[in-house]
Structure 1
């Protein structure tokens, strides 16, 4: 009996049995309501997620490198051990297409720096998945996407596959690709017009690194490799050629990467330029330096390396190992004349002129700043076919580059249009900045030193020099019909000789015209033109 009482004492019994019953019911009801609220919240969240995904936005992972370097697919990231530049190399080939199955034989084992071409071993480097993006669907409920927008869409020939490309051609247009540029027209009676990027932010987004002087390959330079920025002077009035100056008004601080021009005391009767030469080491030269530094230095003295034309080289595509190991080293054989030069300048004089120049073929495109007034004169000098250089003024504008002080300058010649930025702000050059292509679009000797800075009666210092190039769109039509039908490696080897390169290219090149699009069709291209399957290459198996 006592035992039963003990159990009774251990049981919690409220004084009021009616009150206890009510409390238990309320607690049960409360728990039920909480569970129902939780379930309802989950359902509502799922509904919102579904609606958001279906109508507003959706997340995607970039699978391939067709939009590199704007957007990366599966890739490996690294810092160049020689110059310090950070870059990425594609690693999508390590997987079976459209799957996550790893192929050991396709492992990407090394990469080549876009700045100095130094080889980095990637045997132990871990890959990263493709970039993750959120795609906004809402704007397209009220209108079509705009030219140069990046879009995600279902591939017409396989509607279960998502593609991400850049929209270039609009409904009703006929598209032509020639020498890296894209042209369009509405009907056969109209001439083709080059397609420019009205939004300059988009133009800057697709520029690719040629050389960043803040990241010099110091070891190879110490053993005698030539610097890419050096004092030069024009030596031929026709078919412009530049040669190095042994003595000039330039003082070069190679450690700080700052270059001072003392123009107020200069006695030169010609412009003394600080010019860029595309003197890029090959793998054989890097190997010689590592194996025998003394012999490397002797070779530099006896046979100095020469500048070559800037090509459509893309480090993302160049790697060792993998299914395409080394295939794109010699593939990047196409000359790119659309360039963007940026730098900082410290003006140390109240008056004088600062000149910035970009070469393309027969023309020197220049901007001449009067630092006393802040005015900038935009013009080009054409050497060929004229017996004497002919200067054509495009426009004169007011700028903030006025008087002593520090400024950032960016000058671009892209898509047959000149663009100028001072301190990060666009200078409105108007319609005069757009020009018609020259009689001969071929590269000239001047393109071996395509960018320069000079002064007249002024002291200044330039630093943070960086040269970039525009996208070069390959004029390929389907996989069998390529822009260049000759030996690609031979064309690459001729980049040191503009005249020979031009003859070889013209003998085997093609420009491509694509069928006029209907009212519901668009033409899309990948930013990584050499590795992009896009409207150039797609067939029409559906006979749509």
Structure 2
């Protein structure tokens, strides 16, 4: 090797530059498409929620409205609202046409005052109360553009390898219409294979296939599901801000907050904080006449035949599964004496007690006060403000302090028929089973006692649980091409003859029970479904028709750009997992 050779740098060989062109681009696009279709077919898929059968857990096409009094905002079924808008707009156009032909100003005023009410839309606010509308107004000049339903991601890879769990939200092929416009449904899975099932007073009771009807017991939602399905009844953070204007326009007086003072020097009014400055015992009671706690869902407000009457005039079902929470603030520097929440419902007294040094749950008979069960634990109540959160749901009491579960007390003794007797003491079994949609249980009585040493309570909230309504079979909910109509009670409505789910069969309910076409009422499957699954049983969803578990809302209904009806602003605040 020469010296000149040793000084010559060695340059590593470079790979040839990749050739790019139409062929390579097309191959990349095809590969991406194949991967996307593979994921869509076997792993995940997106679906749009079309209707409100799962509202407010999942929203179908809807219109959002915000109350001018409290600021409470909620979604309304789009079809119901637009139908109401069109009727009101037609009446307004007719009235304006009549008025344009009248020259006398006084006559015009008289006719307008007399006939305008037919062109008004009644708007309701659950935080204001549902005795009277919070507002009656003429329809918007331009027909509102409804928001689209939520878009959800469905995990399709789970159920081929694992069994679905009770209370999963599931997308499945509709057995009654597997190839039509309603071929995909989304509901909550309530009934599992190889069990008996019956619904009583809004709750679900199940038991093994070989058991007697008396052996069935209530099933309970996991805590994370229960928190997701609570539906608001009242929240003291939303208070009326223009009561004088409302009282003048409606020519009536507001009925007040739902908790009424029974003892003590309470100052409630329209303040977000309720105060008592006395060291003497104080008490609040729920106003059931003006604030009934029922299964009414505000999403359905415009589905009523007459949306100008109070929503609860349509005989919704009073509910006993309730959550009551609030922040209690002891007087500065003084020891907290104690508070006790008492709910009387279904023949029982439920008591949640928070005292200095102890927490206690107690369940007793309403008739004689005899104790059925109780549980307590030592607890040091802070001298500062603390949150108390009391649940009675699915025959179980819960007590949370500052968000932490401290006590729970289940009640498992009732069979479905015993639950019926406690809920409907004035109704015979024969009357109920003739048509279970007619009788109504009594509403709960709620009293909140304070032993003294309380300065204020705030952030008072009352929520209610899902309530699965009793059902009757109706030919309108069945398809004639699927065979003879099934008649009688809905599936799982007769506690003396519970519904039976055999191997591979599931039962689906909607969270918005009053507006949901549940499996309990949809009758026989389509012949194609029966041929595909080998199962022609009515009401049920075979395992082979499950598509997957609804995992998350990845694209909630977008918001409108301010000042326009154009809906394209992402609503990131509503992104959520589905429970």
Normalising by structure 1, report the TM-score. 0.70
- Cα deviation, residue 278, structure 1: 3.4
| Counterpart selection for 2:510 from 526, 529, 535 | 526
- Cα deviation, residue 476, structure 1: 0.5
| Residue 165 of structure 1 pairs with residue 145 of structure 2 | no
- Could you say if the C-alpha distance between residues 85 and 217 of structure 1 is closer, same or farther in structure 2, counting changes exceeding 3 Å? same
**Counterpart in the other structure of 1:40:** 27
| Residue 252 of structure 1 pairs with residue 267 of structure 2 | yes
The one-character-per-residue Cα deviations of 1:439-464 (angstroms, maximum 9, x if unpaired) are 632489x9767333222243242111
- Could you say if the C-alpha distance between residues 37 and 184 of structure 1 is closer, same or farther in structure 2, counting changes exceeding 3 Å? same
| Residue 408 of structure 1 pairs with residue 423 of structure 2 | no
CA distance in 1, matches of 2:215, 2:243: 46
**Counterpart in the other structure of 2:253:** 224
**Counterpart in the other structure of 1:23:** none
The one-character-per-residue Cα deviations of 1:53-76 (angstroms, maximum 9, x if unpaired) are 111111110011110111111100
- Could you say if the C-alpha distance between residues 205 and 467 of structure 1 is closer, same or farther in structure 2, counting changes exceeding 3 Å? same
- Could you say if the C-alpha distance between residues 113 and 251 of structure 1 is closer, same or farther in structure 2, counting changes exceeding 3 Å? closer
- Cα deviation, residue 531, structure 1: 0.9
CA distance in 2, matches of 1:441, 1:38: 68
**Counterpart in the other structure of 1:458:** 453
CA distance in 2, matches of 1:443, 1:226: 31
CA distance in 2, matches of 1:55, 1:105: 46
Larger Cα-atom Rg: 1
**Counterpart in the other structure of 2:438:** none
- Cα deviation, residue 187, structure 1: 2.7
- Cα deviation, residue 183, structure 1: 1.4
Listed as ranges, the matches of 1:186-265 within 5 Å are 186-187=208-209, 189-190=211-212, 191-220=214-243, 224-232=253-261, 245=262, 248-262=263-277, 265=279
Listed as ranges, the matches of 1:2-151 within 5 Å are 33-92=20-79, 111-115=123-127, 116-117=129-130, 118-119=134-135, 123=140, 124-151=143-170
- Cα deviation, residue 340, structure 1: 0.8
The one-character-per-residue Cα deviations of 1:318-370 (angstroms, maximum 9, x if unpaired) are 11799999897643432212111111112333242221222313322111112
CA distance in 1, matches of 2:500, 2:447: 41
- Cα deviation, residue 105, structure 1: 7.1
| Residue 311 of structure 1 pairs with residue 294 of structure 2 | yes
- Cα deviation, residue 110, structure 1: 5.8
Where does structure 1 lack aligned partners over 5 or more consecutive residues?
1-28, 97-102, 233-244, 281-306, 483-509
CA distance in 2, matches of 1:126, 1:71: 19
Q: Which moved more, 1:218-227 or 1:512-521?
A: 218-227
- Could you say if the C-alpha distance between residues 94 and 448 of structure 1 is closer, same or farther in structure 2, counting changes exceeding 3 Å? closer
The one-character-per-residue Cα deviations of 1:191-219 (angstroms, maximum 9, x if unpaired) are 35344334112112222221222223454
| Counterpart selection for 1:370 from 337, 355, 380 | 355
- Cα deviation, residue 472, structure 1: 1.6
CA distance in 1, matches of 2:86, 2:336: 64
Question: Residues 94 and 322 of structure 1 are in contact (CA less than 8 Å); yes or no, is this contact kept in structure 2?
Answer: no
| Counterpart selection for 2:285 from 263, 275, 284 | 275
Question: Residues 318 and 442 of structure 2 are in contact (CA less than 8 Å); yes or no, is this contact kept in structure 1?
Answer: no
**Counterpart in the other structure of 1:8:** none
CA distance in 2, matches of 1:109, 1:35: 60
The one-character-per-residue Cα deviations of 1:480-515 (angstroms, maximum 9, x if unpaired) are 699xxxxxxxxxxxxxxxxxxxxxxxxxxx746553
CA distance in 2, matches of 1:175, 1:332: 26
- Could you say if the C-alpha distance between residues 227 and 258 of structure 1 is closer, same or farther in structure 2, counting changes exceeding 3 Å? same
Question: Residues 317 and 328 of structure 1 are in contact (CA less than 8 Å); yes or no, is this contact kept in structure 2?
Answer: no
- Could you say if the C-alpha distance between residues 346 and 435 of structure 1 is closer, same or farther in structure 2, counting changes exceeding 3 Å? farther
**Counterpart in the other structure of 1:507:** none
CA distance in 2, matches of 1:253, 1:338: 26
**Counterpart in the other structure of 1:242:** none
Report SS of the residue matched to 1:147.
coil
- Taking only aligned residues, the RMSD between alpha carbons, in angstroms, comes to 3.6
CA distance in 1, matches of 2:513, 2:312: 15
| Residue 477 of structure 1 pairs with residue 472 of structure 2 | yes
